[in-house]
Structure 1
């Protein structure tokens, strides 16, 4: 004990908290901070016999730390040192140090914001940045600021970036403590992408056992991988003198303790573990770590509003934590299933959970606290705005928040249950329906790893099947299908969880357990995941998301389902757990959320407006029927939408109306006060200039009755019409007597296409705009082909004409090509008469 590095800095930690109300302690793995720091404060005068609350990220670490501290005092757990975790509490009126999971602190603060009996809160392993740790710190800082200036807060970690935390605690002192000086050799054994994880891990396990002594701790991303590696080792034979142990959160406490304690027979232990053993836990005898380099984390999809579990590479900080497990009590080795180069590209630290997870539980806790805007509290990382807004939207849909964002009576009940708001609402509704026990069991089943399958792709996803098997198992029914049951010990633990929930809520057992109510109960928890069948196992959810069952099964033919668990990584989400919802149940439970919608829209196939009456629940249409007499305004709006979609070509543009548009655009170019009649401007302002003329019209054929020239002219005042005719004429009279239309298609360059012979005798270029704007002349051959383009007719007669004349005289010898064009008679014929 005297060799623990933390003992060297404990006096500094104690002195700091005598003077300040906050501090940050960075102690490397193996320093002993978890078990020594709380004990050191017991006799401090400022504590005034108040309690010390220490937060740990995992239940196993809570129990282990409490047991170690109690043992060092020569006491049993529950005396001076106790603990509180979900479904397991060991404290007494004498308890001064309570080790708790992070969510327990939130419950304590919600019930007593002053924390009158608490003098010090210790956040251990804060680098893990769990959602409840961030929330607990934010609420504790608020309590300290407003109600308890004397309360101390200590942040502890091995790999935390200390400066931002210290700044959050009003520049709290940072105390550094080195860890044990036991060397740990790092061995990189890169896994080839073609080699399955279980085979590569098993090979490295065998290698490590031959190269180094002691027990071995193997880090794997999840329970599935633990079992795969175990099977791979057992297939090749467990090495002599070794025993396999598993360690993960869902295991019964007795089996967790078995993994931590030395083997009674003295065998070497191979402990296959998730990240549960990454921090806050010393397993005596471990000298070898095998690190797969992977971890399982929940990510919230902003695209679909659904969370999903994904496997990602660990961070450098996590890899160092894992490596440190081998150097706690003696020297050791850490095998890493990646290369040195890959290690350089790992992110430095894990992404804080608050950045990437479902924020509905956080939003409900803040609403209970009385905070609508999280910016009112102090955070290391403030909850992202978009995710927080979505969370509030879900809480409103669940009935936990009112329209103003304040918590409702129902919301307070949901918060008091202490589970995800979705499941809390389902349990409350189950109590109201007289289906309390079924709702509790269903909530546990949803939260837990599925005990009724063995990882078979495309398996039956029906929750009713699982609930029926569980009930049969509960009744010792011989009908239970053992082929479906993957983990009976998990069923026993789930049953304890359900019974604990029923006891805490004062629930009596249901008179009957009708699994046909599963879909109805789940629909209260997942109103956004009620799915309408689209055939072949595909469903459209009320949220608008599309999901599918990978393999056709009985549930594939259901008209409605509730998709409780969805893998969201594909174009269409893959349903992992669901239950059927009958139409009668749907209408009985959710009729108040249904709405009758008038759907008046443009139909591209019909080239007209289609009117329907739809009865909808969110994004799914329950009933759809024709709407014979829709409001005229809605029809006109849909018709305008059709023109926007199809383009202005849907309107009947004649030559004269096209030319009028071009003339108006020419005037707009000269003077921006004139209306802009470009395609973009007309489409953007359809409601302003076209709406008055389309009353009673519904189709493209109806639109052909429009006189677009009248529509456009009506946009002008009487003075503008006169000015338009005066300055931008439609036609120009040429020397031959022809009246030729002017082309305004290029507003910057009005043009006149005229045969060269019709311009004989005219010296200067014709102008418009009160004689200020010369026309661009396209002089044509007798075959109406351009031979010259000019805006300077006089210059053309002097020079260009004679070159053109030679060519035209050769090609059109019968035509009149005079030597003096300004003295010649203009003609529309071959020769002047």
Structure 2
């Protein structure tokens, strides 16, 4: 049977023969997955390796090619996926992570003549890494290695440019017209996906019954598929199709219908690569499940998001492969413009710990590799920090022997580290933490899940929380496989095992009634009220909701302090802590044992360092501010008036003085409380700060006192812009020149004999010649016993009244 791709196969083979690289654009259904590798057999020396993003697609493609050749699987064509392999002499279809292991163990890809990246538009992290590593291997070691990137919806030009101008071959494909039917209005807020999808599928089946053929319904995941299947009441065979299914059950959805109406409920696995016979109707629920870095779990997790326009169009095209079709979309037409054009590449949004590990094995920091989308620097740096904590990288970010052991494991490096270190006993826990929760709605304790995994009947006899047996079965299968990869058991508890995977998530209960925890990585977390784990002092939080302020703990397990000390002896630090406590408003001196942000032990320090005590008291001043006695305030004001005369002293405002502790530390040796700081007189400290010579210059330029004609010292007030004094008017008699401070006239407030201000001047000769006459007239009547001479310049200064009778 002729397929659309056949028309461009000669051009493709010619491009690969001439250039050794090419980009093939072909729409879904064109036949590229099964036709291209077979067409390359005569022109490619050596084996052909083709990457598929999913296990089911890899097996199905290999089987279809073997069937085309009229051979059994395993002769010319084989496949290799996680946990399963059928060798083939010339063509091997592999999942994307397999290629990374192949090239890491053999950078020259010995015996391989061509590598094909199928469905590259899905932009998985492993595909991007695989292409970058393969391209470098081709550049450095294997210039004869042919590379072919195949895609349905990818923008071809950037990929071609990445491969140094690779030729782009386009297949137009063949498709029948597809009618699109949208909802009449958007779904209401809070509408649940499963019942709405079931309703739309029932509607589609009723409206298209006369067309016959298969209805292909796209749902985000296994859980939604199972729930929709349970709700459907239609006259049709209903078949699920998702990646975690048994292969025999998957094959049922890929077989011809035999005349009976079928409804296939599928995940995005059915968007590309797989051929489901006789599809004439597509129902698109408009959701996709993708890998995203989940700060709650510290790993990549699958999250449900709106589909992109490219994905929606690809799904729609499935209805037009064999005949005119209909596509039902579970959103209103007006919502279409809000959909993103493309799904983001996984490398831009996923956890990069695995990528960082592979780059370290390759001996690259990633910047020298040909990534279509470079890995984000911050995420890559964070991933390397985790790998250092796990011992997979050394301090220089070079791979360690332990890191080389982790890389081949089909686990996140966290869980791989736990499995390698704890041994076979950790297999159940590793499989559990890598999978979604089989006891959704149960309390947080991980040991409940482990009990269900190990003895479901005993668990059900003792506990009321329902079990998702499909998830549980998958966890058990994975655990069995992981046990074969682990070493001997280390006899650790579940809490100790979890601490190996999450050294940054060990939680210490805070004081107080609510079950709040501080985590060793520095963040806060809280258990639900009434959870059985809330009474435990130490836990390991393996799954959080990701709240940046205080995350809610979804799954955790208790751990003992002696286990933490045994696991991390090199990371427990003893520190003498002398600091100002804002809560207690005093200096606290403690000896603490810390694991990250956790204080495992805390006791009083008997003989703290005096310098440390003084610095802690200074921190108390920073927190509460300086207290200024009148004398110290006057001294500071004098210094501020003439800073240039005292050398490099700098400003003496509070902020500047509190930025440099050295000047005050010698006076803080006995200060322990806020009361001590409030009682501190800063005068002597300021004098010491400016030094003896500074004090001499200060006394000359800005003296502390004004000496009256009577020889009395009156303190000068420097708190205002102009230095000022207050004294009785009669004490200034005979003074013909106005006193100055530095280059500034002294502001004199003259007082009556009763101590009330009667005049203010900065020009005493002018006052005597002018305003004094009016003051004299007013004051003579009020204070007749005090002298008020007509010419004050000829009178003697005095502070006394005239004798009685004069």
Band the TM-score falls in, shorter-chain normalisation: 0.7 to 0.9
Return the alpha-carbon distance in structure 1 between the equivalents of residues 767 and 153 of structure 2.
86
The structure-2 alpha-carbon separation of the partners of 1:200 and 1:492, relative to structure 1 and needing over 3 Å to count, comes to: closer
Shift of 1:760: 9.1
Which residue of structure 2 lines up, in the alignment, with residue 65 of structure 1? Answer: 61
Change (3 A) 1:646 1:425: same
User: Structure 2: how far apart are the matches of 1:790 and 1:827?
Assistant: 18
Contact 2:284/2:315 (8 A) holds in 1: yes
User: Match for residue 579 of structure 2?
Assistant: 601
Kindly provide the CA deviation profile for residues 131-190 of structure 1, in whole angstroms up to 9, marking residues without a partner as x. 211221221122122211221222222222333323322233333333433222332322
Shift of 1:629: 1.3
Deviation at 1:111, TM superposition (A): 0.8
| SS in structure 2 at match of 1:374 | coil
Q: In 2, distance between residues paired with 1:99 and 1:3?
A: 21
Question: Could you tell me which residue of structure 2 aligns to residue 207 of structure 1?
Answer: 203
* 8 Å contact from structure 1 (residues 733, 739) kept in 2: yes
Matching residue within 435, 453, 470 for 1:470: 453
Q: Which residue does 2:402 correspond to in 1?
A: 410
Partner residue in 2 for 1:684? 659
On the 8 A contact 1:65/1:99 being kept in 2, the answer is yes
1:496 aligns with 2:496: no
Partner residue, 1:363? 356
How big is the shift at 1:193?
0.9
Q: 1:85: Cα distance to partner?
A: 0.8
Match of 1:589 in 2: 567
Q: Is the alpha carbon distance of 1:492 and 1:715 closer, same or farther for their aligned partners in structure 2, counting shifts above 3 Å?
A: closer
Q: Distance in 1 between matches of 2:459 and 2:651?
A: 82
Give yes or no for contact 1:736–1:826 (8 Å, CA) kept in 2: no
| Distance verdict in 2 for CA 1:482–1:281, change over 3 Å | farther
CA distance in 1, matches of 2:625, 2:297: 32
Q: Counterparts in 2 of 1:331-350, with a 5 A limit?
A: 331-350=324-343
Question: More displaced, 753-762 or 149-158?
Answer: 753-762
Q: Distance in 2 between matches of 1:167 and 1:812?
A: 103
Task: Give CA-to-partner distance per residue, 1:448-485, whole Å, 9 cap, x none.
Answer: 2333x3x43xx123322222232225xx8797679656
Change (3 A) 1:144 1:766: farther
Residues 728 and 799 in structure 2, CA contact (< 8 A), matched pair in contact too:
no
How many angstroms apart in 1 are the aligned matches of 2:292 and 2:780? 81
SS in structure 2 of the partner of residue 599 of structure 1: strand
Match of 2:503 in 1: 527
Specify which of 31, 39, 48 is matched with residue 52 of structure 1. 48
Aligned counterpart, 1:328: 321
More displaced, 410-419 or 534-543? 534-543
State how far apart, in whole Å, the 2-side matches of 1:463 and 1:399 are: 25
Distance 2:149 2:762 in 1: 83
> Quick check: 2:279–2:318 contact (8 Å CA) kept in 1?
yes
Is the alpha carbon distance of 1:661 and 1:428 closer, same or farther for their aligned partners in structure 2, counting shifts above 3 Å?
same
Shift of 1:112: 0.5
Looking at structure 1, the residues matched to 501 and 155 of structure 2 have their Cα atoms a distance apart, in angstroms, of: 38
Q: Does residue 689 of structure 2 align to residue 694 of structure 1?
A: no
How far apart in 2 are the matches of 1:175 and 1:820? 115
- Alignment-derived partner of residue 616 in structure 2: 638
Deviates more, 1:812-821 or 1:187-196: 812-821
C-alpha distance in structure 1 between counterparts of 2:747 and 2:136, whole Å: 77
Aligned residue number for residue 249 of structure 1: 243
Deviation by residue 1:561-597 (Cα, 9 ceiling, x = unmatched)? 2222222247432333332323443333333432222
Cα distance between partner residues in 2 of 1:826 and 1:330: 125
C-alpha displacement of 1:265: 6.4
* Residue in structure 1 matching 2:639, options 661, 664, 680: 664
User: Distance in 1 between the 2:419 and 2:574 partners?
Assistant: 30
Q: What do the CA deviations read for 1:334-381 (whole angstroms, capped 9, x no partner)? A: 33333344322232222222222222111111222223x222323223
CA contact (8 A) 1:442 1:518 kept: yes
Match of 1:43 in 2: 42
CA separation of 1:411 and 1:735: change in aligned 2, threshold 3 A: same
By how many angstroms is 1:65 displaced?
Answer: 1.9
Q: 1:439 aligns with which of 426, 433, 446?
A: 426
Aligned mates of 2:224, 2:752 — CA distance in 1: 85
Q: Is the 8 A contact 2:591 2:602 kept in 1?
A: yes
| In 1, Cα distance between equivalents of 2:561 and 2:550 | 24
Residue 321 of structure 1 aligns to a residue whose secondary structure is helix
Aligned residue number for residue 150 of structure 1: 144
Q: Secondary structure at the match of 1:406?
A: coil
In the alignment, is residue 721 of structure 1 matched against residue 695 of structure 2? Answer: yes
1:613 counterpart residue number: 591
Structure 1 residues 775 and 482, CA, compared in 2 at 3 Å: closer, same or farther?
Answer: closer
CA distance in 2, matches of 1:304, 1:830: 88
* Structure 2, gaps ≥5 residues long: none
**1:450/1:703 CA distance change after superposition, 3 Å:** closer
Partner Cα separation in structure 2 for residue 786 and residue 128 of structure 1: 88
Distance 1:194 1:563, change over 3 A: closer
Contact 2:62–2:79, Cα closer than 8 Å, also in 1: yes
CA RMSD of the aligned region, Å? 3.8
Q: Where do 5+ consecutive residues of structure 1 fail to align?
A: none
Alpha-carbon displacement from aligned partner over 1:281-325 (angstroms, at most 9, x marks no partner): 232222233323233334336799665654332222222222222
| Per-residue Cα deviation, 1:103-148 (whole angstroms, up to 9, x for no partner) | 1011001111110111222222222222211221221122122211
2:71 matched to 1:75? yes
Q: Secondary structure of the equivalent of 1:116? A: coil
TM-score by length of 2: 0.88
CA contact (8 A) 1:815 1:830 kept: no
Task: Return closer, same or farther for 1:134/1:299 CA change in 2, 3 Å cut-off.
Answer: same
Closer/same/farther in 2, CA of residues 635 and 178 from structure 1, 3 Å limit = farther
CA separation in 1, counterparts of 2:761 and 2:219? Answer: 81
Q: Where in structure 2 are the equivalents of 1:84-233 lying within 5 Å? A: 84-92=80-88, 94=89, 96-189=90-183, 190-212=186-208, 213=211, 214-231=213-230, 233=231
